[in-house]
Every structure is written in structure tokens, then in C-alpha cells.
Amino acid sequence: MIYSFIKNYFYNSSLSKLCCAKVENRQVFPFTAIIGQTNMKLALILNIIDPRIGGVMSMGDRGTGKSTVVRSLVDLLPKIQVVNDDPFNSHPSNIDLMSQEVKNLKLEGKPIYTNFIKTPMVDLPLGATEDRVCGSIDIEKALLNGAKAFEPGLLAKANRGILYVDEVNLLDDHLVDILLDSAAGGWNTVEREGISIVHPARFILIGSGNPEEGELRPQLLDRFGMHVRIKTIKDPISRVKIVERRSNFDKNADEFLKHYNFLQDFLKNRVVNARDSLKDVKIDYQYKVNIAELCSRLNIDGLRGDIVTNRAVKAFVALNSRKAVLDKDIFSVLSLCLIHRLKKNPLESIDSSQHVVTTFKEIFGYSD
């Protein structure tokens, strides 16, 4: 009986590891093969160029490929260097991306061994508890051994990567607050019974949801850097193309991916170059004033709209291999940064996006 138990245990463990390996190495539909969703793709790319933009919230109909776009994003990111056997994906030299254990090793002058891994992409399930998200402290072990026994959560796993929450509008508001705080501050703090653990948690937060199931509270929605509304594609030709591409991918993923290798590598290089050149992009002072006036005229609360728009337009210019911001660049990212921050007036018949465009043209004297 004991032999049978041990045999089954090791068999199931091996099978579990094999299944996990297959899941980790599963092929993902290529980003450049996705038809439509231009705004969604642009918002995601700008966030991986400059994560300080603050993430993306996408709301749209069922079956419009929101999850597919997000999961395909990770293939555009370069591999990252991490410290071996570190649960926080610590950077070997950047102290802001380093766990306390790695900092201690550096202070003691001990050797630090590293390797390169694929940028982490973490899915947060709807039923996740606070301990699963933030991590938990084993109080009993801490009291008995005098050591901080910390079990890292999903925020630790997502450090230096992407954290994706599908149906984020159904997630408990308290958990959404925790995610947004960590994404904005770059650190996660866990406190239990007088014991405190702090670790880096810098990630790009991406949420998606179906508006039929409810909207996020405005206070939470405002904290997402960008917002995208996704509608079902109506054009019959485009719909047929989507079905054919998906069928070809399902039939022979390896062969399908070969056709998009060039486009994937081209876009990946654009993103890497944009990250490197972002610091050189300049925005004219008058444009900053105009953006501030625009946010003021639109009656947007706080300064997040101003900050995000300035960051997003710089990332957009860097993506297009330029160093000076033009008014057309601001126009290209404006709606993504501001529409979800507008106060809803049920008596107004004008579309909110049209209101933003009209006000922009008045202030900038812009004609497309």
C-alpha cells in the first residue's frame, strides 16, 4: 500500500511537471496576425515602452479577442536577466528591482548568479484571495524559528512582467485597489501580526471585462493609465479573415507562426529601440500647457490625465523613431488617456470621444 502511494505520488508529480512544461511552452497566436483592435494594440505597445503610463483597461463585447491580444503581447518583450532561485525575479544590479535577500548578498560581497528568462505573464484568477495575490507569512514558523517565513504571491511572480486580470470588473474592489497601489508604487507590503515584508512588484497591469457585467467604479477606473472600448467587427470580409487565420493557427501552429516571424521580429525591434530612445524624446513647453488646458476644459479631476498623456505621447513618438512631439502625436493618444476620466452627464447627447476631439481642435488649432 505504501509502495503504491509512493509510486502514484511520483508518477503524478512527474505528470504534473510535464503538463506545466507544455503549458509554459504552448504557442500563442501572434500579435501581428490579429486583425483590427488598433487602439487596444497601440495602448499595450505604449505601456511596454513606458510602464509608468499605468496599464490598460479594455472593455468590450464577448468574443472580441481581448484575452488573445494580451497574451500575445509577451512575445514582443525581450528576455530579462534575473537572479537564480529568486522568487521575485530580482534584477542583479538595479536596487529598485531587487529583493532584500539579493541586496544582502550584494552588501556582503557574495557572488550573484543570474540567468535569462522570458518576461513573466501572470494571470490573476477571479477567485484569488488576498494571501494568494500579495503573499502570506507563516506566523507560527516565524515565532518558533525567529525567521520571516514568507510565501510569495502573484505580485512577486509578476515583478518585471505583466499581470493580467480578465473580468477585472467582477474582482473585489479591495483587491483591485491592492493591484493598482502595487502597480503605481512598484512595491508590495505584507503585514501580519507585527511582521512586515516588502518586496518589489513592478509590473504592467492589464484588465479586461464585459460592460454587460458591470463597470469599474470611476475612482478605480481613473487609476488605469489608458482605457479602450472594443466593439465587435461588423465588416464581413474582416470577419472571414479572422476565422481563416484562427483556423490555420489551430490546424498547424508551427507553420502559421513561420509566416509572421518577420513581422514579429520587426515589431519587437521597434519596441526595444523605442525603450532605448524614450529618454531622448522632448515635448515642447507650449504643448504641455495645451494638454493642461485641455484637461481643465474637459473638467477632469486630478492630474493623472495630464501626466499619462505626456508619458503616452513620448512613448508614441519613440515608437515612430522621432525625438520631437508634434500635435498629431498628441491627437493619436489623447482619447486613450482621457475618455475614461470624463464625468458622465446623462443629459448630454454628444459622444464623449467626440467631445474630446472637438475640444482638442479648438485648443491646438488642429485639423486632421
Active-site positions read: 304
- Using alpha carbons only, give the angle 227, 230, 213 rounded to the nearest 5 degrees: 85
Q: Where are the beta strands (DSSP E) in 26-146?
A: 56-60, 80-83, 114-117, 121-123, 135-137
In what helix (H) or strand (E) does residue 221 lie, and over which residues does it extend?
helix 218-221
Q: Which residues pair with 206 in a beta bridge?
A: 56, 164
Q: Give the separation between CA 28 and CA 252, rounded to whole angstroms.
A: 12
Q: Among 100, 104, 35, 103, which Cα is nearest to 72's?
A: 35
Q: Give the separation between CA 339 and CA 343, rounded to whole angstroms.
A: 9
How does strand 187-192 pair with strand 195-200? antiparallel
In what helix (H) or strand (E) does residue 45 lie, and over which residues does it extend?
helix 38-49
Q: Give the separation between CA 202 and CA 179, rounded to whole angstroms.
A: 11
Residue position matching grid coordinates 497601440: 42
Dihedral angle of Cα 286, 290, 291, 297, to the nearest 10 degrees: 160
CA distances, 169 to each of 71, 178, 293 (Å): 19, 14, 31
Q: b/e per residue, 274-310, with b = 16+ CB within 10 A?
A: bbebbeebebeeebeebbbebbeebebeeebbbbbbb
